[in-house]
Structure 1
Amino acid sequence: MGQFIISVGREYGSGGHEIASRLAEKFNVPLYDRNMLDQMAERNGIDAEELHKHEETKRQGLTRTVRGHSSSVQDQIAQLQFDFIRNKAESGESFVVVGRCSENVLRGFPGLISIFVRGEEEAKTERICRLYKLNKLEAKAKMFRHDKKRKAYHNYYSKMKWGDSRGYDFCVNSSLMGVEATADALYTMISDYLKNKAEQ
């Protein structure tokens, strides 16, 4: 089996991150999510918390760009993450990556398989209530806030719109079968696809 990269975009509360974790586990490959910032911080001697504050956030306020370098902290962190996953892809490593506009950043890599996970509002609300011990009103507000931020970030740094099915190989509603069964179904489909590709 050659190199493969699974990119997972997700609505907040859809279980997309858990699906990505399960796929990484099943394929026995690394998972890159916010942990890539910890690796960058360690390598560059920076406080990881500072980086996490601005992750998956688009540029805010007035900034200057000099010779292609932006003065925006958000731009710099976004570019660090884009470079990180591009370097991993160029190294020939197989991995699963969550968010970070990865389906756009890594477009053109032959091993890329992009997924977008959505869910029904009720199911997502229940999941957020359960995970964060919130009431329904708080859960819906949290979901709306996170999705708004993700959409703004993605649409700022990508050509394709966040969640637009034309930008992904697989778009799946995790509410239909639940997170675990959705991860199993995706694993089966991707395994079959990789097997067929290897036999061609």
Structure 2
Amino acid sequence: MEKQLIISIGREFGSGGHEIAEILAKHYGLNLYDKNLLQEIANEKSVEVKNLEKYDEVPRNLFMTRTVKGYSNSAEENLANMQFDYLRKKAESGESFVVVGRCSEDVLKKYPGTISIFILGDWESKVDRVVRIYGMNRDEAETFMVRQDKKRKNYHNYYCKGKWGDSRNYDVSINSSKLGEDVTAEMLIDYIDRRQNKH
């Protein structure tokens, strides 16, 4: 791939956004960065990845932390900034990749090769998916979905000017429930190819 391509995927919980990201990464032969970012950072910093996981995509606790002269004592904020810096470093190197979450549509928007996508879904379809994948009953699935999306929204909106899920902040917003993950991915591939060929 001659031109840099960075595919940023935001997603509602249960929408199949991660699966779509995997399909896109496989199609284009690109690295996929998601939770594996933590392992990369842990390796760089010589720390155990399990020590980072509890702070991943969690907003800073404003009551328990403070910033002095630009330095924060918030583990959540420090980890978020390490991930943002890691993604910027990858983008600066010219690497093409797919990234899920991590405020990437905002963090990487200055790079011309970035295409930002938000995957949403119908409530019933998302509940059915969570029940099937996580083995929960319906009530558990609904509670889990609400909690996960609230966590993602709070994290995103703390670090970004644009609001999580607001279609104006993404190149494409698409409901994966209408046609399923495979066909949704096919449509996105067509869009990405057209964008790549435009310049």
Q: TM-score, normalised by structure 1?
A: 0.96
For each residue in 1:142-195, what CA deviation from the matched residue of structure 2 results, as whole angstroms up to 9, or x when unmatched? 100000000000000000000000000000000000011111110121112212
Matched to 2:4, the amino acid is Q
CA distance in 1, matches of 2:10, 2:163: 11
Task: Give the alignment of 1:1-200 within 5 angstroms.
Answer: 1-60=2-61, 61-197=63-199
CA distance in 2, matches of 1:96, 1:178: 20
Report the identity percentage: 51
CA distance in 1, matches of 2:76, 2:158: 11
Q: 1:66 deviation in Å?
A: 2.2
* Secondary structure of the corresponding residue to residue 129 of structure 1: helix
CA distance in 2, matches of 1:191, 1:136: 39
Q: 1:72 deviation in Å?
A: 0.3
* Secondary structure of the corresponding residue to residue 162 of structure 1: coil
CA distance in 2, matches of 1:77, 1:68: 15
* Secondary structure of the corresponding residue to residue 62 of structure 1: coil
Matched to 2:170, the amino acid is Y
* Secondary structure of the corresponding residue to residue 55 of structure 1: coil
* Secondary structure of the corresponding residue to residue 9 of structure 2: strand
Matched to 2:110, the amino acid is G
CA distance in 2, matches of 1:189, 1:63: 43
Q: 1:64 deviation in Å?
A: 2.0
Q: TM-score, normalised by structure 2?
A: 0.97
CA distance in 2, matches of 1:141, 1:115: 25
Matched to 2:180, the amino acid is G
Runs of 4+ in 1 over 3 A off after TM superposition: none
* Secondary structure of the corresponding residue to residue 98 of structure 2: strand
Figure out how many residues of one structure are paired with residues of the other and give that number: 197
CA distance in 1, matches of 2:151, 2:190: 32
CA distance in 2, matches of 1:44, 1:112: 27
Query: What runs of 5+ residues in structure 1 fail to find an aligned partner?
Result: none
* Secondary structure of the corresponding residue to residue 21 of structure 1: helix
Q: Which moved more, 1:39-48 or 1:61-70?
A: 61-70
Matched to 1:181, the amino acid is V
Matched to 1:12, the amino acid is F
For each residue in 1:17-71, what CA deviation from the matched residue of structure 2 results, as whole angstroms up to 9, or x when unmatched? 1111110100101000010111111222111012111100000133121221210
Q: 1:89 deviation in Å?
A: 0.5
* Secondary structure of the corresponding residue to residue 156 of structure 1: helix
Matched to 2:194, the amino acid is D
